[in-house]
Amino acid sequence: MSKRIKNLITAELQTKFKGADSVVVVDYTGIDSKTTSGIRSDLRKKKVKMTVVRNAMAAKALEFVGLKGAKELLTGTNAVVYGGESVVDVVKELVEQAKKIEKLKIKGSIVEGRILDSKSTTALSKLPNKKELQSMIVGQILGPGRKLAGQIKGPAGKLAGQVKAVIEKAEKAEKAAPAAA
């Protein structure tokens, strides 16, 4: 392949990887095209892309977009998986696919500048994703406020009930007084 074509392919990969803060590298050796198409289809549903790459070109493109150290992951036959809402969603989907397809191997990932091996990458699938984390944080922020509102409402409710009872008692006494006179 000529140098010009390699440069064009590398530039295209740079465009694809631009904006990705994390990528997962998988080995798809021995998987037929029909199964690979199924994997890609399932990933597309989650807005995740899988690109089969030449190692040297992918390493250059990933370095260019700020994901350094890809060379150590890019050995053998590889595909780079990227996109989605968070890398946790990507890894969860890949782990599910790997359970169904034994030949699909997660080699590792680059997550926000850190290189993770296969075990560490797979461990990401057990973590909550971005939306789950946000809801947990919101729950923790609202918890004390909810508790404080309950504590304020409790005594105020009792006081309001007592005032209401006094008013009702006074009204009954007032109604009973004119009838007796």
Report which of 46, 50, 59 is spatially closest to residue 31, judged by C-alpha positions: 50
The average pLDDT across 70-80 equals: 83
CA neighbours closer than 13 Å in the CB half-sphere of residue 30: 6
Q: Decide: 53 and 80 in contact? Cβ < 8 Å.
A: yes
H or E stretch covering 14: helix 3-17
Question: Tens digit of pLDDT for each residue in 97-110?
Answer: 888 888 889 888 88
CA–CA separation, 145 and 61 (whole Å): 48
Cα dihedral sign, 124-122-78-74: positive
Q: Return the CATH fold of 3-127.
A: Alpha-Beta Plaits (3.30.70)
Q: Is 131 a residue whose pLDDT tops 80?
A: no
Domain layout of the chain by residue ranges: 3-127, 128-181
Tokens at 123, concatenated: 């461990």
Bridge-based pairing state of the strands 48-53 and 78-83? antiparallel
pLDDT in tens, 20-63: 788 888 888 888 889 888 888 888 888 888 888 888 888 888 88
pLDDT above 60 (res 180): no
The pair of three-digit structure tokens given for residue 18, joined into one six-digit string = 């631009």
Residue 157: the pLDDT is: 73
State residue 59's pLDDT score: 85
Mean pLDDT, range 160-180, rounded to an integer = 78
